[in-house]
Amino acid sequence: MKAIICNGIRFEKVEAVIFDKDGTLANSHQYLWHLAEKRAALIDAIVPGAKSKVLAAFGCDDPAGLMAVGTREDNINAISSLINQEKSIVRSIFSDADRLLDRKAKLTLPYPQIVELLNSLSSLKLGILSSDIEPNIRDFIEEYHLSDYFQAIVGAQSGMSKPNPKLLFLICEKLGIEPEKVIVIGDTIADTRLTPRSIGVTWGGSTIAQLDGAAAIAHHPSDIRLSHIRRM
């Protein structure tokens, strides 16, 4: 049997680790700022003077802000209400902004020590459960040669967002692991409330107060380590 230890907290009988992506594996701050600026500028062109309030709504300085943890549909709904425009118009603007940016993967590098952490956990099954779309997740792990580490990924699902436990069950089913035998590692309350067996991380900018529900807190990837349980 194997255990995970994080700053004095021990998780027993671990068979899999499920990671969030943006803010946990990938540093998405630069990308979120560029994307928010593009979206806001395009919105300002049809709703003059809206740029500053749109940027404020996105909350790019907040690791738990709309851009960081909201799904694409969450963002569309919020901005549509804010500027009093049809969702179809906002959806079209978002698509235009996507085309004006480089690939997301190019702007979201892995955090320092992430590869070392994945190496240390490679004897377990590993997965990614993200609010990002699956093509972006695959692009990220392929861009940085991480594909071999992960046996399953689950991206944004229509009508569901973290911490809906159905998402945890979905990725556990893909991994072939029971939910009580996994650890979830993430940088927001949406991750830490997926399961009592969760580790909240602060290396992406989140504070401990933003990680309610986490059983343990990691400030650096090296705070998380695998321990083999010796049988007597």
**Do the Cβ atoms of 36 and 78 come closer than 8 Å?**
no
Of 75 and 64, the one with more pLDDT: 75
**Do the Cβ atoms of 124 and 150 come closer than 8 Å?**
no
**Do the Cβ atoms of 15 and 26 come closer than 8 Å?**
no
**Do the Cβ atoms of 23 and 187 come closer than 8 Å?**
yes
pLDDT-derived band at 177 (thresholds 50, 70, 90) equals: very high
pTM, to two decimals? 0.86
Q: Is the pLDDT of residue 232 over 60?
A: no
Phi, psi (degrees; rounded to nearest 5) at 220: -140, 150
